[in-house]
Every structure is written in structure tokens, then in C-alpha cells.
Amino acid sequence: MLNPVDHSPASRRDQFKAAVGNVAGERRRKQAIIIGKERRDAVVRAKRMRRADDNDEGMMYDEPFSDKIINEETVRAVQELKFLFSSSSKDSSQKKIEALRKLRRLLSCSSNPPVASAVEAGVVPILVKCLEFGSSDEQLVEAAWSLTNIASGDSELTLAILPALPLLIAHLGERSAAPVAEQCAWAVGNVAGEGEQARDLLSSQGALLPLAKLLLLNKPMLVKTAAWALSNIIKGPSSKAAVELFKVDGLSEAIIRHLTKGDEELVVEIAWVVVYITSLAESQTKLLIKSGLLPPLVAWLSSSESLSLLTPVLRSVGNLVAGDNSNTDALLDAAKDLPGGLFGCLVRCLGSEHRTLQKEAAWTVSNIVAGSLQHKQLVFGSRVVPTLLHLLATSTFDVRKEAAFALGNLSVMPAGESQLPQPIMEHLSMLVERGCLPGFINLVKSPDLEASRLGLQFLELVLRGLPNGQGSKLVEKEEGLAALEVLEYHDNDDLRSMANELIDKYYGEDYGLEEEYGPGIAEVVRGGEEYPSWRKGWVVNS
Amino acid sequence: MAFEVTQILLNAQSSDGAVRRTAEENLKQFQEQNFPVFLLSLAHELANNEKPPESRKLAGLILKNSLDAKDASRKAELAQAWISLDNALKSQIKGALLMTLSSPVKDASHTAAQVIAKVAAIELPLREWPDLVGSLLSNMGTPQAQKPPGLKQATLETLGYVCEEISPEVLAQEQVNSILTAVVQGMNTSETNNDVRLAATRALYNALDFAQNNFDNEMERDYIMRVVCEATLSPDVKIRQAAFECLVSISSTYYSKLSPYMGDLFTITSKAVREDEEGVALQALEFWSSICDEEIEAQEEYGAEFSEDSEVPYFKFIKQALPALVPLLLETLTKQEENQDQEEGAWNLSMAGGTCLGLVARTVGDDIVPLVMPYVQENIAKPDWKFREAATYAFGSILEGPSLEQLTPLVQVAFNFMLNAMKDQNTHVKDTTAWTLRRIFEFLHGPNVDVPVVNQNNLSVIVEVLSEGIKDVPNVAEKICGAIYFLAQGYEGTSEPSSPLSPYIQGIIQMLLASADREDANESRLRTSAYETLNEVVRCSTEDTAPVIMQLLPAILQKLNSTLDMPVLSSEDREKQNELQASLCGVLQVIIQKLSALEITKFGILQCADQMMALLLRVFSCRNATVHEEAMLSIGALAYATGPEFAKYMQEFYKYLEMGLQNFEEYQVCAVTVGVVGDLCRSLDDKILPYCDGIMTQLLKDLSSSHLHRSVKPPIFSCFGDIALAIGENFEKYLAYAMPMLQTAAEVSAQGGGDDDELIDYYNQLRNGILEAYSGIMQGFKNTKAELMVQYASHILQFIESICDDPHRDDAVTKSAVGVLGDLADTLGSHVAILFRNSSSYQGFLQECQASDDQQLKETADWALAIISRIVSQ
């Protein structure tokens, strides 16, 4: 029966003088659920309505807010500031700080802050006024904070704060309170991020040395921000800034100390400073090495799991081995007690899940094996080679190309008097035997000129180097001849003539004719914000 | 191919335990090894007239239990097992069952009727067994070819059971017509066999739901009503009672068709109430109670504005019958039995009459007062306690329904009399007086009452009377607890730092604790009521009595501690221990909530937090569902009080949390635990992270279980949101598991519940849970992992659009949906601009919400619209 009403005596009896306990308990348990729900709603509501940063009491916009309202409010806030800082105002400093804070919160709106409206309303001159000497720390921080937010905007907005730079830089000095210095460093860093011109301006206004001096302190937050700002300024391409830093006494030691003992976030920022020094300033690099740069560097390389840390550390190591061969020796020595030594560290990066690390590690290896015969032999005997072969066969194009550079450099003698690079027979035949040829032939077929040229040069080496004409048979077998024939009609003159010559020389009627080709290959400019555009070894200087 | 099972079935009923167990074991093995032959063997046993009645009956019962179970998932399994049997085998079994109906052995035919109904319940909805109704009807014979009464009786039983099992739309109208014809013919006075008439009357009770069309047709309706009314006059009391049961059912199912018959029905029922045996008289009273239910519901349905063309029928039958009905009911009130208040489950004429009087008062309001008050005045001071009690009960019964204007002057006059009546010599009178006081406080005391019955002048007397009354026998003491409960509640919600009750709080708490401690407190649910009343007193207390509540805390902790060392020698001991622990945990929950609401008292909670937690953990180790439920609630309250500090208890507490989440059977425990996970998320924030793998695994298991009560599923979805809010981007790893569950549930809820109010309500809860999950996840990901939600955006928007278009969505769903719209735009920004540009329905929906009276909804809608317009215009 589906009758919805229960007419049983039991259900009717429950109504008779019902005990209060049953209903009350039910009601109490329901109440608990309602309380939970109310609290959930409150949390969600607060999150939805929050716009200022988490540490503040929270800026609640009960009314609907939109860009228009925020912009209007910003203009009003700027006008209020103008009035408060006008000479006629007698208002207390507390009131001024509150007004500054209000402005800063408006400029901190998470999405789409009303920076343009503030600049248009003339906020910068007032903020400059707020930065005057003798102002309270609180006022300085708030003003610098607003400037930081303005400088994080589009480039014209960044440039709008240029009038504030002298004072911002002035407050970087050692007599400023840490929060003030940090906030100013942050603003300066934002400006430096704008480009070369801004960096030059900052250097010329003397931002470098005070920032560098901040690195000497033991205040992690401050040092971190200063290092970040500094790395933005010394980026280059001119090495002037990176060199000038070292006018500060004890800088090398401070860098090494932070690199050794700092928390991970601090090490990241310091490591970026090291990246630019090792890339731009050779004698300063020597100074750092002498102060003990290498042990912490290789230690991080061997142990860190963090991509943001490994990136600058590996880049620095890459920069080092691209320099003097003695740098490589020093690195080998510094890493000798780590698992697998320096090559162990590099294999770790080559095997990383991050493509960028694989690529930078391969680039680093290619620079090591462009060095002395001894370095080539050391690498050849390590686990680096199977890893590179694997990458050449399976990885994405950019990684394959770097692996190919490394394997190529591994196969030739250090550049000597001879115009043609001489193969290291043991290395070459072994690599060919392990199946590297298809990888290089693939590169020959690539539309990337540099890769294609690299492939051709390796084929040439095989054709010329392997005894008894083995080379030509192997190349043909792996369809290298077909790849060469395609290049016979290539638009690029160099590639076309190289391919023609190889075919003529090793497969053509004019077999045996010696002709000269090759070393005059134009330097290839590599794009992007990557490791430096130059490389040692075979392709460029063979 | 059937096996001989007689001996095993007889052995299974043996008085020798060993024999019985072996037989049961054999049966179980047989069932597992060869289910089809097992069923067939049982059917043959049941059908075989040469077998002993005992084995036949048991065979039938086992068959029945192989086809149906209470538990829904088990029931579905059994149905599936039957469906997948070989058709020929099923035909054999069904044939044997139908044959059994003609058996002269009542046990066999009666059991067969039940089994047939179970098979029908599985097969008829699948359009199988089409000739069942036909073959049953052929058993009824014709005037020319009479069939044996035994077969007719068993057949009518079968028809009744079949109707009980299936829903009306399963049968074709002509089948319904022929069933009703057969049944009504069986009830007719021309049927000479009383057993057949009785079976027919009971079958009609079950078949009434199928008779919609027949009740629409005046001639058929008249005929059915005449036959039922005739049956109420049968010389056989069982037939009369069954006929009144039919009338009760008709009164609610066909309320709107009753007008022409009400005169006759009043005559029949009042005669039965006055003259017939109690079982019949009680059904006759139930008829009027049921009419009251219908009319109360009808009035609630359209509130104050009643118009003639209202869709809900309302004929004011009670108002019309009032002058005759009220005296009839008052007559019953003096038919009390001694000790009826102490007996659990007692139900007699005076109880049913008083209950009906209360319903009548709620139905007609003020009109009842002049009809009842003379009776009260005349009898309330009579020497015979039966009159005093009856008068008091009549007075108490009419306190709900009439207006305050009518009641207040009466109660002002009677109140002192009632307080004095607590000194009556008769316990029965005191019981009813205490109950009446409770109703006075419930309906005539509180901030909404202009001229309160309770005031500064009489409060001390009231408290004194209550403190005496609570020492009386348990049933009286329980009613006094009810009075205190509503006395305290009347002072709830004042923002004042003090309440008129404050000076008495200490004393009241003491008396409640003392009654809870009474040896006889397990009678009349006194202990539970005492503790729940204590809870209400604490909850409604004001700031000035915080120190008293603070003192209560150690006392309760000490009591809870001592329950752990209670000697438990019997199951009653265990029950008592559990009940006590549950009640004390309840008190703890309320105290924690109360004290942590104020900064100045919160420290008291924090100071005892370690101690409380240690105690609660020990309580958890006693395994009992109700105790776990209550202890969980205390934990939830404690976590709010301690905030992130609660993390230090998590390691030890976690296993009980997991245990609660795994408790499918006692789903209330599971539900409460899910709620506590939410509490913990809000208190611990990201400190809950280490436990989230375990919690999420368990919640996902719960959701995929077909055994878990569905009411727990919506809160689990909300809980996803709570977890995501707490752990932010770390929710990423659960996303791939949670989202498909949410999407599936969203699709289910979009099906709509049709006319089924319960289902509509459930789908609303489900949607609300899903929406809360989406909000939580999006806000959790907002700053760092927003892009993870991009792929789900269009699904979410579609889901909300389906909600916008649904007329059944409730306010909570509306509010959540508006929030999620805003969250989508706020979190995903330009990623969803195109989706919003292409969506048409959200705008109208949000504008509608902006016009709402609900301030919070309005604000949220403003916010959502602003944020969406911003991303759309970019």
C-alpha cells in the first residue's frame, strides 16, 4: 500500500504527551549542522569579498564594485593625499599614514589594479614628497609600496616613477630600517626589470653599491629582495655593473655565505646574481671561485629537487665550464666527493623531468667536452654518454640538438693547427656503433640551419674518419645519402655546397678529390632568454 | 528435479539447538549450491498437501525471504537473482504457489498468498506474469459455479497483498476494476462466509489506492462507500474493525470526495465510539483525527488566504461537526485506565480522544474554547480524580490552536490553579497538570507574548513548584523537565546580558542533574529529558550566568569520566552506559558552544581542552553509534573553540574520524562525521592536509557505495568544498577523482523529481552540496591553480543554467548558484568570458536575485554580476 499517511496507533501515540527529550535532541543535532553551514558561508563570503592583502583587516566591498568604482575611489584617495600633504594641512601624521595605506590597498587589488588612474591623478609627486628624509618609517614603507605597485605595471607606468628613484635609492642605505630598505629595493627591482635603459639609469644614479651592501647583512628577507633587485640590474649585456659590484668589500664572502647557509628562496636569488657574474665578468668569477663558490654550487646541483633553484645553479656551472678549462678542473675537484662526481650531478639534470634542465645540462656538457682531451676522455668514461645517446634518440628537438653538440664535440680532438677537426677514433667509432648516426641524420633533415649544419659536419667526420670507407656505407645504410641529396637543392648556399661536396667526394665520380670547405661558418645567433649565445668547441671555432 | 526437504525443515524448527543448527546449516548450503532447485524444492513442499503444516509454512517463509528484504540494496540483489532464473523453472514455482491457494491447510494457503505477492512485486512492473490477476479472479467463481470459501479467502488475501506490494500504475484500469469488483463482492452482505468477508475487507484496505478512477465516478463511489459502511455494522468485530480501517484510509486518500457521506459517517463513528469494543472505537476516533490532519495540512498549504478555487480541498468538516464532535470527545476523556502514564505503548479511548481534541483545537482555533471551557470548569475540582484529570487534559489540549487573545485571559485565571494542582494526591492528575504547564510555557510564554503568563512576581513560585514536581515519580518528573525546557526557551535570544531566569539557573541546573542521577531515571525517558533540558537551559543562559556554566563543565567531565569505569555486567548495563555517555557528550557539546562564543569564557574551554579531548578519545573506544554521534558533535564544537591548535589532537583522533566515515550501517554517524570534517577544515585550515589523503579516500568510497543512505551524499559534496577551501592548491591531486563524481551527481540531480516532494527536496540538497563543492574548489585554486578548472567551466555553467530554469529550486540552491557564477568569473577570468557571452539565462537569473528581499542574496548577486560584466567586457 502506498498510502502516505501513517494511521498506526503507534504513530498517533507518539503525539500523546510526547517526551521533550526526543525532539530536543533532534533539534540540537540539527542546530550543529546549521552552525557548520553558517560558518562555511561566512568563510566563503569573506573570500569572495576580500580584495586587499591577507594581513590587513580586509577591505570589504559590500557594494558591488567594478573598475569604475575602484578607479574613482583611487582618484579620491590621491586627492585626499594631495590635501593632507599640502602645506596648509595640519593633520596628524597618523591620518596621513592611513590615507597612504588606503591608496596602497587600492593599488594592491589583485586583478587589474587602478595604477593608471593614480598616475594620471598625479600620485607620483606626492609619493616622492612622502619619501623625503625625516619621514617616519611607516610612511616610507607605504609610499615605497605604492611605488612598487605602480612600477609593476606597463612600461610607461614604470617609467612614471623615475622621479622617485633618487629618494628610493637613498633609502636603500645602511641607516634605513630593514622594512624601508626592502620595500625600496623591491621598487628599484621592478624598475630594473623594465629594460636595458632603465638598468643603465639605475647604475648611473648609484643604485648598485647600496644594494650590494645590503647583501652583507644577515636579514634573509631583505637580502633576498636586494639580491633579486641586483640581479635585475646586472643582467647585461654590458658587464660594467657586474664588475662594479665588487667594489664592495666582503661581497664575495657574503655571496658564498648566503649560498651556503641561506634558505632555499634566498639561495635562488643569490644564485641568479652568480649567474650574471659568471656570465659577464671573468676576473670577478675567479674571485668568487677563490672565495669558495664551487662547493655550495655543486652541492645544490647534486641535492636540490627544486626547479627554481636548479635553473640558476646549473646555468652558473654552465657559464663556468664555458670559460677557462681550469674552471672545469676546479668543478671536478669540488664535486669529487658527491655521488657520481660532477658528471653524476649533470646526469641527474639530463635525466630530469624538466625539459629546460635537460637542455641546459646538455649545453653544459657540450662546453666541457669542447675543452681538453682529458676532459673529453673523462666524460666519455662516465654515465653522461649513454644518457646523451638516449636523449638524442628520444627527446624533443631542442634537447636533441644540444645532445648532438655534446656528442660531436666528444668525437673530435681539441682544435689544433689543422683546419679540419681530427676525429678521436675510439670515441667516434664507439658512438657510431652505439647508434648515434640516425640521430645526426635526423638533424641533417631539420629545417633549423644550425642543426642541419651540425648534422652535416658529423656525417663528414664519419665519412672521412672511419677507416676503409666504412663511413660511406654506414651513412648510406642509415639513409644519410638520401638526406644529403635533398640538401643539394637547399636555399642556403653553405648547406648546399657542403652537401654537394660530400656527395661528390664520397659517393661521386670525382672520388678522392680533396677540397676545402667549412670552418668559415657564420656565427649563429641564438634567441630567447637562455644561456649565453656563445659556445666553445667544434662548430664555432674548429 | 526437486529435492525432499521436509525433514530438514522440521529439524530447523526443532527444540534441540544442535539439530536446529545443523538443519539451518544444511539449508544454507543447499541454497548456495543450487539456488534454482532450492527454490523449486521449497515450492513443492509448500504445495504438497501430504506434508506437515509446519514444514510447509517454513518452506513458504524461506521462499518469501528469498524474494524480498528490508534493506534496499539486498532487495535489489534478490530481485535480480529471481529475474535471472530459468523461465520454465519460474513457471513451475508460480504454478505450485497458485495451486497452494486452494489448500485446506490455512497456514499453507496464507503463506502462499504472501509469496505470490512478492513474486508479483518483482514481475508485474516488468510486464511479466500477465495472467496472474486473471487466474486469481477465476478462483473467485461465479454464482453459477461456486468455489470453496477457503480458496476465495486465500485469493482475496493474495489480491490484498499484491496491491500492498505494487504501485497503482502497474495495473491496467480494467484489471483494477475486476479486482475491486471481486473484492467488493466478497465484502457484500450476500457473502455468507465471515472469513471471506473479512479477507475481502482487508483486501479493500490495500486496494483503495488503486481506486482513484472509481472514486471519481459517483455511482461506483456510492457503491464502495455503501459496502464499507455496511461492513462497519457486521456482527463480526474483526470485520467492523477492518471496515473502520478502510474508512480511515478513505478519509485521507479521498478527503475531497467525502462531503455527501459525512452525515452518515458521523452517526456511524459516534455510535462506535460510544458503544463498540475498544479496537473498533479507537479506529472510529482515528477517522476524525485523520480528517483533522487533512484540514490542518490544507490550512498550512494556503496560509491565511483561503479562496474557493484553491487547489487544495478544504471543506471545514470539523468546524461543521464541532457542536456534536466535541462532546463526543470529552466523553472519552474519563475513560482513563489506572497507570496508563507509566505504561509504554498504552493506547486507550481517553488517550485517543484527548489527542483528537488537541487536533480539533488546532483545526478550528478559537471556536473550540466555548465548547470546552464549561466542561473544564465543571469538572476540574471534582472529588473523582478521573474528572479532575479529564478536565485538566481538556484544558491542556486546547492550548495550541486558539489565538493568544482568547487564551491569555483563561490561562491568567487558571495558572495559579494549575500550580496548586501539582500538589494533587493523584499522580495521574499531576502528570497531566505538569504537561499542561509545559504547554502553557510553550505557547503562552516568550518574547512574542504581549501579556506574559510568567512574570517577575510569579517566577519564584513557578521555580519552586517545578523543583518539587521534579522529585515526583519519573513520568511526572519527565513532564516537569518539559516545562523547564520551554520556560528557559521563552527567555532565549535576548541580547541583554542578564535574564529574569538568571537568579534561578544554579538551582535549576542542580535539580536537573539530580533527576538525571535518580535510580529510576531510565523510566519514562526521564534521564534523556533531564539532560536535554539542561542543554536548553545552558543554551538560553545569558552572560551573567557564565560562571555557573563554567562550574558545570568539570562536573560533566567528571560524570563522563566515571561512565568509563561503570561496571558493565549485562546488556542493560551497557545500554545504560551508552545512553549516559551520549547524553553527557551532548551536554559537553552545548557547553563548549556556549562558552566559546564569548572571549572571556573561551579560555575556560581552552584550559580544559586537553582533558576533554583525552576523555572523548576514551569514549570513542566504547563502540556505540549514538555515543559516537554525540562525541563527534562535541569534537566539532571543540575544534571551533581551539582553532588551529586542534592539530595536536589529530593524530590520535584520526582513526575515529576514519571509523565514523566508514560507518555505512549507522549512517547518522557517518553524516555527523562528515560534518565534523567540515568543522575541522575550518578550524585547522591547511594543517588538515596530512589527513586529507585518508579522508578523501574514505569520502570517495562513501560516494560510490550503494549501501550508504543517500542523505549523506549531499553533505559529502559540501565537504569536498570545505577541504578545498582549507588546503587550496593541494586539492589538485583529488580533482581527477572528485570532478567525475560531482558531474555525475549534477546530471542525476538535473533529472528533476517530478511530483515527488521528497525527491525534489533531495535533489535540491544534492545540488546545494555540488555547488558548495564547486565554490570551495574554485576559491581554493583561485590564486595559484585556477587554470585547472578551465576544462570544467562549461559543465559548471550548464549545470547552473539547468538550475536557473528549474521552478523547484529552493532558496539555498539559488544562493549557492549565484555564488558559483561569481566564483567562475572571479577565478577563471578571461578564460570564461566567451562562455558567459554565449550564455543567455544567467543574466535574468542574477537580476531576479538582485531584486530579492534577502540581503545576502542581493549582495552576492550584485557582486557576481559586477565581476561577470567586467570579464565579459574585456
Please, which residues 245-284 of chain B have a Cβ atom closer than 8 Å to chain A?
245, 248-249, 252-253, 282
Instruction: Please judge whether B860 and A25 are an interchain contact, meaning their C-beta atoms are less than 8 angstroms apart.
Output: no
pLDDT band at A155 (very low <50, low <70, confident <90, very high): confident
| pLDDT cut 70: percent of chain B above it | 99
In angstroms, the separation between the Cα of residue A16 and the nearest Cα of chain B is 6
Residue B508 vs residue A450, higher pLDDT: B508
Instruction: Please judge whether B636 and A36 are an interchain contact, meaning their C-beta atoms are less than 8 angstroms apart.
Output: yes
Among the listed ranges B252-261, B540-549, B689-698, B861-870, which one has the minimum average pLDDT value? Answer: B861-870
Q: Using one digit for the tens of pLDDT, what is the confidence trace for B454-494?
A: 988 899 999 999 999 999 999 999 999 999 999 999 998 76
In angstroms, the separation between the Cα of residue A13 and the nearest Cα of chain B is 7
CB-CB neighbors (< 8 A) of B293 in chain A: 5
Q: Using one digit for the tens of pLDDT, what is the confidence trace for B161-172?
A: 999 999 888 898
Report, as an integer, the average pLDDT of B507-536.
94
| pLDDT cut 70: percent of chain A above it | 85
Angle at B701 between CA B697 and CA B706, to 5 degrees: 175
Is the model's pLDDT at A541 over the cut of 50? no
The predicted pLDDT at position A109 comes to 66
Q: How many CB atoms lie within 10 A of CB A319?
A: 22
Is the model's pLDDT at A537 over the cut of 60? no
CB-CB neighbors (< 8 A) of A25 in chain B: 528, 532, 586
User: Is the bond preceding B130 in cis, omega lying within 30 degrees of 0?
Assistant: no
The predicted pLDDT at position B641 comes to 92
Compute CA distances B1 → B26, B97, B513, whole Å. Answer: 18, 17, 69
3-class DSSP state of A50: strand
CB-CB neighbors (< 8 A) of A54 in chain B: none
Which residue has cell 453459477? Answer: B144
Is the model's pLDDT at B42 over the cut of 70? yes
The predicted pLDDT at position A49 comes to 56
Report, as an integer, the average pLDDT of B804-810.
87
Instruction: Please judge whether B355 and A15 are an interchain contact, meaning their C-beta atoms are less than 8 angstroms apart.
Output: yes
Q: Are B817 and B800 in contact (CB under 8 A)?
A: yes
Instruction: Please judge whether A25 and B345 are an interchain contact, meaning their C-beta atoms are less than 8 angstroms apart.
Output: no
| Alpha helix stretches (DSSP H) within B149-193 | 149-165, 173-187
Report, as an integer, the average pLDDT of B832-859.
86
The predicted pLDDT at position B404 comes to 92
Report the residue of B529, B821, B865 to disrupt the A interface, i.e. the one with the largest count of A CBs within 10 Å: B529
Burial track B686-702 (b if 16+ CB lie within 10 A, e otherwise): ebbeebbeebbebbbeb
**Sequential DSSP letters for A357-402:** HHHHHHHHHHHHTTS-HHHHHHHHTSTHHHHHHHHHHHS-HHHHHH
Spatial CA neighbour of A274 closest among A320, A308, A305, A307: A320
Q: Is B525 left (phi over 0), alpha (psi -120 to 50) or beta?
A: left
What sign has the CA pseudo-torsion B163, B169, B175, B177? Answer: positive
Measure CB to CB from residue B532 to each of A1, A21, A49 and give the nearest one: A21
In angstroms, the separation between the Cα of residue A33 and the nearest Cα of chain B is 7
**Sequential DSSP letters for B86-149:** -HHHHHHHHHHHHHHTT-S-HHHHHHHHHHHHHHHHHHGGGT--TTHHHHHHHTT--SSS---H
Is the model's pLDDT at B706 over the cut of 90? no
Q: Using one digit for the tens of pLDDT, what is the confidence trace for B188-242?
A: 888 889 999 999 999 999 999 999 999 999 999 999 999 999 999 999 999 999 9
CA distance linking residue B329 with residue B398, whole number of Å: 13
The predicted pLDDT at position B439 comes to 96
B438 touches chain A (CB under 8 A): yes
CA distance linking residue B483 with residue B460, whole number of Å: 15
The predicted pLDDT at position A528 comes to 33
Spatial CA neighbour of B333 closest among B285, B291, B276, B272: B285
Instruction: Please judge whether B593 and A35 are an interchain contact, meaning their C-beta atoms are less than 8 angstroms apart.
Output: yes
The length of chain B in residues reads 874
Spatial CA neighbour of B167 closest among B207, B216, B224: B207
CA distance linking residue A311 with residue A316, whole number of Å: 9
3-class DSSP state of A60: strand
| Widest pairwise Cα distance in chain A | 119
Report, as an integer, the average pLDDT of B735-749.
92
pLDDT band at B687 (very low <50, low <70, confident <90, very high): very high
CA distance linking residue B636 with residue B719, whole number of Å: 14
Q: How many Cα neighbours within 13 Å face the side chain of B103?
A: 27
| Widest pairwise Cα distance in chain B | 91
pLDDT band at B624 (very low <50, low <70, confident <90, very high): confident
Closest-CA residue of B relative to A16 is B355
Q: Are B586 and B579 in contact (CB under 8 A)?
A: no
Which residue has cell 484489471? Answer: B175
CB-CB neighbors (< 8 A) of A36 in chain B: 636, 675, 678-679, 682
Among the listed ranges A52-66, B7-21, B95-109, B246-260, which one has the minimum average pLDDT value? Answer: A52-66
Among the listed ranges A205-209, B105-109, B390-394, B420-424, which one has the minimum average pLDDT value? Answer: A205-209
pLDDT band at A519 (very low <50, low <70, confident <90, very high): very low
In sequence order, which residues have a C-beta less than 8 Å from that of residue B427 and are 6 or more positions away?
B341, B472, B473, B475, B476
Please, which residues 472-491 of chain B have a Cβ atom closer than 8 Å to chain A?
478-479, 481-482, 485
Q: Using one digit for the tens of pLDDT, what is the confidence trace for B528-564?
A: 999 999 999 999 999 899 999 999 999 999 999 999 9
B379 CB burial (10 A radius; 0-12, 13-18, 19+): buried
In angstroms, the separation between the Cα of residue B114 and the nearest Cα of chain A is 14
Q: How many CB atoms lie within 10 A of CB A3?
A: 15
CB-CB neighbors (< 8 A) of B721 in chain A: 40
**Sequential DSSP letters for B29-42:** HHHHH-HHHHHHHH
CB-CB neighbors (< 8 A) of B288 in chain A: none
CA distance linking residue B356 with residue B344, whole number of Å: 20
Measure CB to CB from residue A20 to each of B245, B532, B672 and give the nearest one: B532
Instruction: Please judge whether B345 and A13 are an interchain contact, meaning their C-beta atoms are less than 8 angstroms apart.
Output: yes
In sequence order, which residues have a C-beta less than 8 Å from that of residue B38 and are 6 or more positions away?
B30, B31, B66
Report, as an integer, the average pLDDT of B323-329.
96
Closest-CA residue of B relative to A33 is B675
Q: How many Cα neighbours within 13 Å face the side chain of B757?
A: 1
The predicted pLDDT at position A531 comes to 59
CB-CB neighbors (< 8 A) of B249 in chain A: 3, 7
Q: Using one digit for the tens of pLDDT, what is the confidence trace for A260-314?
A: 988 888 898 899 999 889 888 888 888 899 889 999 999 999 888 888 889 889 9
**Sequential DSSP letters for B647-678:** HHHHHHHHHHHHHHHT--SSHHHHHHHHHHHH
Instruction: Please judge whether B863 and A48 are an interchain contact, meaning their C-beta atoms are less than 8 angstroms apart.
Output: yes
**Amino acid letter for position B682:** R
Instruction: Please judge whether B637 and A32 are an interchain contact, meaning their C-beta atoms are less than 8 angstroms apart.
Output: yes
Report, as an integer, the average pLDDT of B389-405.
95
CB-CB neighbors (< 8 A) of A65 in chain B: 863, 866
**Amino acid letter for position A255:** I
Q: Are A103 and A60 in contact (CB under 8 A)?
A: no
Is the model's pLDDT at B700 over the cut of 50? yes
Among the listed ranges A306-315, A508-517, B695-704, which one has the minimum average pLDDT value? Answer: A508-517
Report, as an integer, the average pLDDT of B31-49.
93
Q: For chain B, what is the mean pLDDT?
A: 92
pLDDT band at A149 (very low <50, low <70, confident <90, very high): confident
B626 touches chain A (CB under 8 A): no
CA distance linking residue B69 with residue B263, whole number of Å: 44
For the record, the C-alpha cell of B779 comes out as 576559491
CB-CB neighbors (< 8 A) of A113 in chain B: none
B872 CB burial (10 A radius; 0-12, 13-18, 19+): middle
Instruction: Please judge whether B532 and A28 are an interchain contact, meaning their C-beta atoms are less than 8 angstroms apart.
Output: yes
CA distance linking residue A279 with residue A462, whole number of Å: 34
Q: Which helix (H) or strand (E) holds A196?
A: helix A196-204
Instruction: Please judge whether B167 and A15 are an interchain contact, meaning their C-beta atoms are less than 8 angstroms apart.
Output: no
CB-CB neighbors (< 8 A) of A33 in chain B: 675, 715
Q: Using one digit for the tens of pLDDT, what is the confidence trace for B118-156?
A: 999 999 999 999 999 999 999 998 878 889 999 999 999
CB-CB neighbors (< 8 A) of B431 in chain A: 17
Spatial CA neighbour of B504 closest among B443, B548, B471, B470: B548
3-class DSSP state of B768: helix
Q: How many CB atoms lie within 10 A of CB B565?
A: 8
What sign has the CA pseudo-torsion A326, A331, A332, A337? Answer: positive
CA distance linking residue A527 with residue B318, whole number of Å: 93
The predicted pLDDT at position A48 comes to 67
Which residue has cell 630530469? Answer: A352
CA distance linking residue A503 with residue A488, whole number of Å: 9
Instruction: Please judge whether B776 and A36 are an interchain contact, meaning their C-beta atoms are less than 8 angstroms apart.
Output: no
In sequence order, which residues have a C-beta less than 8 Å from that of residue B586 and are 6 or more positions away?
A25, A28, B531, B532, B535, B630, B633, B634
CB-CB neighbors (< 8 A) of A15 in chain B: 355, 358
**Amino acid letter for position A173:** G
Q: How many CB atoms lie within 10 A of CB A240?
A: 15
Q: Which helix (H) or strand (E) holds A429?
A: helix A425-433
CB-CB neighbors (< 8 A) of A30 in chain B: none
The predicted pLDDT at position A88 comes to 57
Q: Are B87 and B139 in contact (CB under 8 A)?
A: no
CA distance linking residue A224 with residue A272, whole number of Å: 11
A interface residues, B as partner, C-beta within 8 Å: 1-5, 7, 9-10, 12-13, 15-17, 19-22, 24-25, 28-29, 32-33, 35-36, 39-40, 43-45, 47-49, 61-67, 110-112
Instruction: Please judge whether B593 and A21 are an interchain contact, meaning their C-beta atoms are less than 8 angstroms apart.
Output: no
Instruction: Please judge whether B289 and A63 are an interchain contact, meaning their C-beta atoms are less than 8 angstroms apart.
Output: no
Torsion angle defined by CA atoms of residues B226, B227, B228 and B229, in that order, rounded to the nearest 10 degrees = 50
CA distance linking residue B608 with residue A229, whole number of Å: 51
For the record, the C-alpha cell of B317 comes out as 468538516
Going by the DSSP 8-state scheme, the letter that residue A468 receives in this structure is: G
The predicted pLDDT at position B398 comes to 96
Measure CB to CB from residue B209 to each of A1, A16, A36 and give the nearest one: A1
End-to-end CA distance of chain A: 97
Please, which residues 588-607 of chain B have a Cβ atom closer than 8 Å to chain A?
589-590, 593
Measure CB to CB from residue B722 to each of A5, A40, A49 and give the nearest one: A40
- Give 3-state DSSP helix, strand, coil % of chain B, rounded to 5: 80, 0, 20
